[in-house]
Amino acid sequence: MKRRMGGFAMILVIWGLVLLASLASGFSMAVRHESRAAADLAAIAEAEAAATAALHITVLQLSQEDREQRWRADGLARRIAWPGAQVSVRVQSENGRIDINRSPTEPLVGLFEQLLPGSDPESLADALVDWRDRNDEAEPKGAELADYASAGYAYGPSNAPFYSINELSQVMGFDSVMLETLKPYLTVYSRQQRINAISADLVVLSAIPGIDRATAQAFVAERETALRDGSDPDFTLLEDGRRYLDTRIGSRLFSLDIEVRLDEGFKRRERAVVRLNRRQGYTLLARETRALDDAALDERQP
């Protein structure tokens, strides 16, 4: 009887030890999980602080009175010193993009022809216009409420200005893949029908009626030389497309692509749109975190 009781007690002790070991293991895993979560939160906060600092430094450089010291909106990567991180900023003028709330149909068609092969550019452009206009009358190749219903959509056009480029993916004929292709060339912030020729890139210039790619390339090369020398570009090359273009030099509206890579490996990329105030400071119009890719940073310096 004593042996049986002793064996039973031994089993209880063993099971108790197993239970304690399981509890200890679970507690250890919970601690490790919490530690990792805390480290992740710390990395997120550190990267956000670096990105915010880069935004403020960039605005300061864009606001310099000295033209030689002022940063140009040329899209080149600029390094910003920050402890424990590599920080890179690219600046472009938002006025050089096509404003989907104000643009005439023709530049939109030109852009879609270049970037969306196999699509019907006129249908896409008309559907975009029908989304933003306030009436229910469809453009020749556009789409209004009845067309959306016939196509099985649970909604129709908003009949209001786009609040974001991302909204374009809801327009009939567009999808998220097309949106990502078009995003670098579109804006909702310029509030201008015309595109600024000083800051428009090759793709946008080539979308302008009357300007072919060879003409756009020639102008971009001449423009870079003129701006580098401190002179005004020769706009005669763009004469056939001047009705769609603004040739004023200087911009107060910029997009900033900011990339932060912490030394321990955490990465953050974001895009901000800022408008410099006429007296001082700036207005932040948009700021969003963007997907990261593994492509190497452009190391060129302006």
Q: What is the CATH number of domain 98-246?
A: 1.10.40.60
Return the DSSP state at 185: G
Express as a percent the part of the chain with pLDDT over 70: 82
pLDDT for residue 218 is more than 90: yes
Tell me: the pLDDT tens digits for 8-60? 566 666 666 666 666 666 655 655 555 555 556 888 889 999 999 999 999 99
**What phi, psi does 227 have (nearest 5°)?**
-65, -35
Per-residue pLDDT band for 301 (boundaries 50, 70, 90) equals very low
- Residue 201 Cα distances to 71, 102, 189, 253, angstroms: 18, 19, 17, 16
For residue 211, the 8-state DSSP code is -
The count of other CB atoms within 10 Å of the CB of residue 72 is 17
Contacts of 193 (CB under 8 A, 6+ apart): 99, 102, 103, 104
Q: Does the global pTM surpass 0.95?
A: no
Give the Cα separation of 230 and 232 in Å (integer). 7
Radius of gyration of the chain (CA): 28
Q: What is the mean pLDDT of residues 259-265?
A: 91
Please give the mean pLDDT across all residues of the chain. 86
User: Cα(292)–Cα(275) distance, rounded to whole angstroms?
Assistant: 25
Tokens read off for 272: 């901000």
134 in Cβ contact with 159 (< 8 Å):
yes
Distances (CA, A) of 39 to 32, 43, 47, 85, 260: 10, 6, 12, 16, 17
Q: Where in the sequence of the chain do the CATH 1.10.40.60 domains occur?
A: 98-246
Bigger pLDDT: 248 or 104?
104
pLDDT the model gives residue 253: 94
Write the CB contacts of 257 (distance below 8 Å, at least 6 apart in sequence): 89, 90, 92, 269, 270, 271, 290
> Residue 295 pLDDT > 80, yes or no?
no
C-alpha span between 30 and 34 (Å, rounded): 6
The CA-CA-CA angle for residues 223, 227, 228, to 5°, reads: 115
Of the pLDDT bands very low, low, confident and very high (cuts 50, 70, 90), residue 265 is confident
What are the residues whose beta carbons fall under 8 Å from the beta carbon of 159, sequence distance 6 or more?
Answer: 131, 132, 133, 134, 135, 136
Going by their DSSP bridges, the two strands 253-262 and 85-93 should be labelled as antiparallel
pLDDT digits (tens, 9 = 90+) for 162-208: 999 999 999 999 999 999 999 999 999 999 999 999 889 999 999 99
Please state which of the ranges 75-84, 260-269, 286-295 shows the lowest mean pLDDT: 286-295
Go through 273-282 and write b for each residue having 16 or more CB atoms within 10 A of its CB, e for each that does not.
Answer: bbebeeeeeb
